[in-house]
Amino acid sequence: MTKQEQNKINWLASAMSLPIVYRDEVCYYAKQLNLMGAIAGNDHLLLEEDFKTKYTTQYTDLEIELLTGLFQQFDNNQQDFVAIPRISNDERVRIQMEFMATHQDLSDFNVLVDYITSQDDNTAFILLHLFCNESHLEYLLDDWQVHMNRAMLIKINDFLKLWEIDLSTVEVWDIDFSRRAIVDLPNQTPIAQTSGKKPFWKIW
């Protein structure tokens, strides 16, 4: 195993203890390195057979292609951004429950509930634009965006702490409707020193 591969393993092992990283994406990445079984996290040993039986059937070819690209972006020093997995379905369900518990009037607005519970970003985006002009829905949509953005900021914060980056030197440029964020990083970050560029991180 090369030093670069060992560094990847160390990062993945740390990341697996965080709820912000998809475990199945970690499995997929490990398989690309032919290192399945070499990573243990949360008392869970990742085995190649586990991947074959549990994970490959859960993704379409397009999704697998996107996941591969996500980690290639992370590893390639020629890139000037790092992709981080977006909020998982489990996290989204938890956020929904928190939000709906504080907004009892949601039961009156079925369309808004459909938007909030949508797992498809495109569907959510369309619903938002179709109904954001309805005055009785607009304030709830705004609240939901704030609630989701706060979850994204927590996710960014946790990831930057993992890299021991001074949060006071980081600027979040934008979080869009699809829960993607552009984060400006300081020059002294390890990846900036490696690539010779000032990077920004794209949070998916």
Residue 30 to residue 9: CA distance in whole angstroms:
8
Residue 200 to residue 111: CA distance in whole angstroms:
36
Q: Where are the alpha helices (DSSP H) in the chain?
A: 3-15, 23-32, 48-50, 61-75, 89-101, 110-117, 121-131, 135-162, 190-195
Each residue of 110-169: pLDDT tens digit? Answer: 555 555 555 555 444 444 555 555 555 566 666 776 777 677 667 666 666 665 666 566
Q: Which two tokens stand for residue 110?
A: 């079925």
Separation of first and last alpha carbons in the chain: 29
Q: Which two tokens stand for residue 45?
A: 């040993």
Each residue of 155-164: pLDDT tens digit? Answer: 666 666 665 6
Residue 190 to residue 61: CA distance in whole angstroms:
33
- Write down the pLDDT at residue 25: 47
Of 110, 100, 201, 101, residue with least CA distance to 160: 201
- Write down the pLDDT at residue 35: 37
Tell me the one-letter amino acid at 46. L
Interstrand relation of 40-41 and 171-175 (parallel, antiparallel or unpaired): unpaired
Residue 117 to residue 127: CA distance in whole angstroms:
11
| 170: pLDDT strictly greater than 50 | yes
SS (H, E, C) 140-197: HHHHHHHHHHHHHHHHHHHHHHHCCCCHHHCEEEEECCCCCEEEECCCCCHHHHHHCC
> What is the pTM assigned to this prediction?
0.42
- Write down the pLDDT at residue 204: 38
